[in-house]
Structure 1
Amino acid sequence: MFRTNDADMLGVPGMFGAGQTQWNQVSRVLRTHWYHVTVQATQEGTAREIVLMVDAEAQLQKLLIAQSEDVGISDLQVVTPAHMNGTEAWRMEALTQVYIGEDENECLVSVIEVESGAVYHSSNRPGFHSDSLTNLRPVFLSSMIRPD
């Protein structure tokens, strides 16, 4: 989840549209993955690009389902913490697929494949193997985004 601090607010709420507030920065407390989603939208003949920072697979799935002729995802990246991607730092990588499954405790676990072929999972259990998941279902496949 992302959080904001009132001191980082730009302008006043609603200044950029009803229900909209702009921020100079947001923060993240949890060391969990999130998605960087680029959306192309055409409204009244004008094309716009919007970037969303999406925290969870449920929200990502809603965006994928909501795509239309005028609004579509053109790029999708995953941002992973070091413990998840096996390096010393956070990484942002092009996404190829995301699945959700249940471990032996019926807890949801994300399985994420990136463009390089690396596969990450969201379980914190030592020795976890994603092939032990049950009720595995797709959230995202690369064919779900618009080609350039």
Structure 2
Amino acid sequence: MQDQAGPVGMFGDGLAHFHAISRSLATHWYHVNLKRRHEGRFVAYEEMLNDEPRLVELLISQDENLVVQEVQVVTPAWMNKGSCWKMEMLTSLSMGFNQVEVPVCVLRVESGDVYVNTHQRDLDVAALVGVRELYRHRSETTGLASTSEDM
């Protein structure tokens, strides 16, 4: 079986296309649309990020050569209380600790729904301690996705 689709360099130097992505755990992840300056012009890219540290690292690295356009979160059914995986616009992401000091992510999506990355049934999001906002959907005035100001 051939691993390559199309001729070598079909997507340009250093650019690639993928056939599949595998994950062993049914946990949320982030789909990020961004623009990077390449040879004097902005080129659209998508990044699929596995976790919050990678998302925050990307958000912090924004400058005149890299601009995050939008962040979507992909959640499994157990997390979004639905029947299947969902991909939704992320409006904010916070992290805090439950009563036994386990970190918990709180994801707010465009529909207004709030998801948490724990199976703890009796979790009260308002009872989390040390809550820190890691991301808020871009401001319409700046056009940039942002991390919290204290980072």
Normalising by structure 1, what TM-score? 0.82
Greater fraction strand? 1
1:23–1:43 distance in 2 versus 1, CA, 3 Å: closer
Point out where structure 1 has 5 or more consecutive residues left out of the alignment: 1-6
Is 1:143–2:141 an aligned residue pair? no
Q: CA deviation at 1:8?
A: 8.9
Helix, strand or coil at the partner of 1:84: helix
What is the one-letter code of the residue matched to 2:143? P
Alignment partner, residue 27 of structure 1: 22
Greater fraction helix? 1
Q: CA deviation at 1:60?
A: 0.4
1:144–1:106 distance in 2 versus 1, CA, 3 Å: farther
What's the Cα RMSD here?
2.3
Normalising by structure 2, what TM-score? 0.81
Work out the percentage of aligned pairs sharing the same amino acid.
33
Q: Aligned runs of 1:1-148 on 2, under 5 Å?
A: 10=4, 16-17=13-14, 23-143=18-138, 147=143
Helix, strand or coil at the partner of 1:41: strand
1:95–1:77 distance in 2 versus 1, CA, 3 Å: same
Runs of 4+ in 1 over 2 A off after TM superposition: 7-11, 20-23, 143-148
Report the number of matched residues.
Answer: 137
